[in-house]
Amino acid sequence: MPLKIRLSRGGAKKRPYYRIVIADARSPRDGRFLEKVGTFNPLLPKDHPERFTLVEERVKHWLEAGAQPTDRVLRFLDAAGIKSRPTRQNPKKGEPGKKAQERIEARRQAEAEAAEAAAAPAEAAPAEEAAAE
């Protein structure tokens, strides 16, 4: 039976409250679970002590038994110092999309043309003065 340490949603509409549970990976998100090992209340401030609670010895027991945490729970476990989360490298995440890159390139070309147009009359003005004399 593949076990997961995951979040189970509770609370009212637009007022989420999560239980951190040990459940079979095949069971529904809010369905049957084996044990509740913590809670997560995203509505509380980040520095509030009750935003995230955890029964550490039970989590360690289930991790030794082979339970796999989900990515979100792994973040909590990393913050609690129970299990480390590997750093991720996604260099393309910070880049703008195709259309945004096209707009940036169009803006650069327009600025370059405007700079050339502004520089051209300034160079032509001394030549006209010399011709007038």
Which amino acid type is present at position 97?
A: G
pLDDT of residue 3: 94
Of 27, 20, 100, the C-alpha closest to 62 is 20
| Element of type H or E holding 124 | helix 98-132
Tell how many helices (H) and how many strands (E) occur in the chain: 3, 5
Cβ neighbours of residue 6 under 8 Å, at least 6 residues apart? 20, 21, 23, 29, 69, 70, 72, 73
pLDDT of residue 9: 94
Structural domains in the chain, CATH included, are 3-80 (3.30.1320.10)
pLDDT of residue 5: 95
Query: How does pLDDT run along the chain (133 residues), one tens digit per residue?
Result: 799 999 999 999 999 999 999 999 999 999 999 999 999 999 999 999 999 999 999 999 999 999 999 999 999 999 999 999 888 888 788 888 899 999 999 999 999 999 888 887 656 555 555 555 5
Cβ neighbours of residue 77 under 8 Å, at least 6 residues apart? 5, 54, 59, 69, 83, 85
